């Protein structure tokens, strides 16, 4: 699982060769470590005239211990934050140029660029809608231009949802979002109930989280991060993974549930388990997933059926069971794990990509239905993540997957887990119906 190329480029000889030959030069990403400041440097905050978010952004940064500057000065910044909600016409887009042009070079290593806007689909005025939609092209291009591990994101905030941005800004303005790049996030589209955690280092205290496929890889990292954030984790996997599952559960002080989620009685057994042991569940992460790759013309029907069953239909049956009985408590969170293959498609993965695009459909369909119950549903779409699965990919394809993104490296399971923990946070009540890629701005499906 080691990225030897990245180790090489950080050696003396490697650095020289990279420079001479113009090779990709991945910067080691700054990830969250307990006790570290959120950012390496102050945030420069600017608002286009008429913006409605500067005050809320300032308050969030202050609470998160981030120094906010409103006038340019220092040589490097931890972040540049621009409130573009006041931009109502194409000519006003010039505000973006005027703010970013003089300061973009001063974004520090693993720094952040955040642009805030209004969801275009909620705007009646044509000029304003066009200008707000244009922000997407700007941010996606800035993401590609930034160097040294810095990232750019666009956050569309529904009018009235100004007080719901806290958990999202804290996530984006920290090492927790290290491998999230050039994403468009929507807040408050379906309303949302924000509960500020008493302790931001343990926002999930008192919560019960179910993580499927938790015995290894990304699932094990999700269990670790949710437990770090205070949740009791119920780690679920198939009986054949029993030993590994027990090791993960022991590590995080959680409990194990050996269950094949595709079994006909699996939803009922799950409901019974959660009801009898915990009285319910607060967070459900549908992480279990399989691949059975073959080009469609050569694919056996069993391979099609198995992938659709694990990756999609079993999840829908579990959701139905948890929701019907009220086992998923008010304020609950359902979190899907899609894939960039579900967005871009992939040769040999018609079954997998269909299932993963279906996960996005699950988010679209359920978000408005669950909002009145205070429940949110969102998904992550990982790109190339360093796991046993990707280590088994042939070298050339593996190198292509690893490098073909704006950060020139693969992500780590913890990057996916941190994004899931952001969705799970009680303060993320306004984050509903989102699919965020954890892919370093992969060129696939861009
Ligand atoms: P993995 O194979 O290491 O882990 C998946 C886990 O799911 C395994 O422990 C497996 O036993 C479990 N599982 C499979 N079928 C099950 C069933 N019927 N019931 C219960 N558990 C079952 O895979 P990973 O790389 O950690 O991937 C985790 C998720 O992330 C998957 O949904 C995968 O599709 C998705 N994903 C991974 C990547 C990547 O680069 N690794 C990229 C995009 C998406």
CB 422 within 8 A of CB 333: no
Q: How far is the CA of 29 from the centre of ligand 1 (A)?
A: 24
Residue from 3, 216, 218, 224 whose mutation best tests the ligand 1 pocket (most atoms within 8 A of CB): 218
Of the residues 5, 156, 179, 352, only one is catalytic, namely: 352
Is there an atom of ligand 1 within 6 Å of 217 CB? yes
What per-residue confidence (pLDDT) applies to 72?
84
CB 113 within 8 A of CB 152: yes
Task: Clarify whether 97 is annotated catalytic.
Answer: no
d(CA 155, CA 171): 12
Is there an atom of ligand 1 within 6 Å of 316 CB? no
- How many CB atoms are closer than 10 A to CB 226? 28
Name the residue with tokens 């996997």.
Answer: 237
- DSSP readout, 382-397? E-SB-SHHHHTS-HHH
Q: How far is the CA of 390 from the centre of ligand 1 (A)?
A: 11
Q: How far is the CA of 281 from the centre of ligand 1 (A)?
A: 21
Burial 391-411 (b: 16+ CB within 10 A, else e): eeeeeeebeebbbbbbbbbbb
Q: How far is the CA of 110 from the centre of ligand 1 (A)?
A: 29
Q: What are the tokens at 283? A: 């967070």
Tallying the residues shown for the chain, one arrives at 446
Is there an atom of ligand 1 within 6 Å of 213 CB? yes
Is there an atom of ligand 1 within 6 Å of 389 CB? yes
Q: What are the tokens at 294? A: 């073959």
Is there an atom of ligand 1 within 6 Å of 288 CB? yes
- DSSP readout, 3-46? -HHHHHHTSHHHHHHHHHHT---PPPP----TTS-SSSSPEEEE
Residue bearing the CA closest to ligand 1, atom 34: 289
**Among residues 85, 91, 95, 104, which one has the least CA distance to residue 144?**
104
Residue bearing the CA closest to ligand 1, atom 23: 217
- DSSP readout, 83-115? E-TT--STGGGHHHHHHHHHHGGGEEEEEEEEE
Is there an atom of ligand 1 within 6 Å of 168 CB? no
d(CA 226, CA 203): 9
Q: What are the tokens at 98? A: 């005027």
Q: How far is the CA of 236 from the centre of ligand 1 (A)?
A: 12
Residue bearing the CA closest to ligand 1, atom 3: 217
Q: What is the pTM of this model?
A: 0.96
CB 235 within 8 A of CB 248: yes
d(CA 411, CA 4): 14
Within 13 Å, how many C-alpha atoms sit on residue 327's CB side?
Answer: 25
d(CA 238, CA 202): 29
pLDDT in tens, the chain (446 residues): 567 777 777 777 666 666 666 667 799 999 999 999 999 999 999 999 999 999 999 999 999 999 999 998 888 999 999 999 999 999 999 999 999 999 999 999 999 999 999 999 999 999 999 999 999 999 999 999 999 999 999 999 999 999 999 999 999 999 999 999 999 999 999 999 999 999 999 999 999 999 999 999 999 999 999 999 999 999 999 999 999 999 999 999 999 999 999 999 999 999 999 999 999 999 999 999 999 999 999 999 999 999 999 999 999 999 999 999 899 999 999 999 999 999 999 999 999 999 999 999 999 999 999 999 999 999 999 999 999 878 888 888 889 889 999 999 999 999 999 999 999 999 999 999 999 999 999 998 87
Q: Which domains does the chain have, with CATH numbers?
A: 31-187 (3.40.50.720), 208-438 (3.40.50.720)
CB 328 within 8 A of CB 279: no
Is there an atom of ligand 1 within 6 Å of 384 CB? yes
d(CA 21, CA 440): 23
What per-residue confidence (pLDDT) applies to 14?
67
Is there an atom of ligand 1 within 6 Å of 287 CB? yes
d(CA 145, CA 307): 37
Q: How far is the CA of 362 from the centre of ligand 1 (A)?
A: 18
What per-residue confidence (pLDDT) applies to 20?
65
Number of H helices, E strands in the chain: 16, 13
Is there an atom of ligand 1 within 6 Å of 238 CB? yes
Q: How far is the CA of 288 from the centre of ligand 1 (A)?
A: 4
């Amino acid at each position: 699982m080691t990225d030897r190329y990245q180790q090489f480029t950080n050696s003396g000889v490697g650095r020289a060769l990279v420079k001479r030959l113009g090779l990709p030069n991945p910067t080691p990403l700054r990830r969250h470590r307990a006790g570290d400041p959120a950012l390496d440097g102050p945030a420069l905050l600017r608002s286009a005239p008429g913006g409605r978010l500067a005050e809320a952004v300032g308050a969030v940064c202050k609470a998160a211990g981030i120094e906010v500057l409103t006038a340019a000065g220092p040589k490097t910044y931890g972040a540049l934050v621009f409130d573009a909600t006041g931009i109502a016409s194409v000519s006003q887009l010039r505000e973006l140029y005027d703010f970013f042009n003089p300061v973009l070079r001063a974004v520090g290593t693993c720094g952040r660029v955040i642009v805030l806007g209004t969801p275009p689909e909620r705007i009646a005025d044509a000029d304003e809608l066009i200008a707000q939609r244009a922000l997407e092209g700007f941010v996606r291009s800035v993401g590609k231009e930034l160097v040294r591990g810095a990232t750019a994101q666009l956050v569309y905030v529904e009018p009235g949802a100004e007080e719901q941005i806290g958990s999202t800004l804290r996530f984006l303005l920290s090492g927790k979002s290290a491998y999230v790049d050039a994403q468009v996030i929507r807040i408050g589209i379906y309303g949302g109930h924000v509960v500020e955690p008493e302790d931001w280092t343990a926002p999930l205290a008192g919560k019960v989280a179910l993580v499927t496929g938790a015995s290894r890889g990304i699932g094990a990292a999700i269990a670790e991060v949710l437990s770090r954030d205070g949740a009791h984790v119920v780690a679920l996997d198939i009986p054949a993974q029993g030993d590994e599952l027990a090791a993960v559960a022991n590590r995080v002080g959680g409990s194990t549930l050996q269950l094949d989620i595709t079994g006909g009685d699996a939803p009922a057994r799950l409901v019974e388990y959660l009801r009898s042991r915990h009285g319910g569940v607060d967070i459900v992460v549908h992480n279990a997933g399989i691949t059975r790759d073959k080009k469609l013309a050569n694919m056996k029907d069993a391979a099609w059926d198995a992938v659709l069953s694990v990756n999609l239909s079993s999840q829908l049956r579990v959701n139905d069971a948890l929701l019907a009985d009220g086992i998923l408590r008010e304020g609950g969170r359902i979190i899907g794990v899609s894939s960039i293959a579900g967005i871009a498609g992939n040769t040999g993965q018609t079954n997998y990509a269909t299932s993963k695009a279906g996960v996005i459909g699950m988010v679209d369909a359920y978000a408005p239905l669950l909002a009145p119950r205070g429940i949110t549903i969102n998904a992550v779409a990982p790109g190339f993540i360093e796991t046993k699965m990707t280590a088994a990919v042939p070298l050339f394809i593996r190198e292509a997957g690893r490098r073909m993104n704006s950060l020139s490296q693969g992500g780590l399971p913890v990057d996916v887990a941190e994004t899931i923990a952001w969705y799970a946070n009680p303060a993320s009540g306004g984050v509903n119906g989102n699919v965020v890629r954890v892919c370093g701005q992969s060129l696939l499906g861009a």
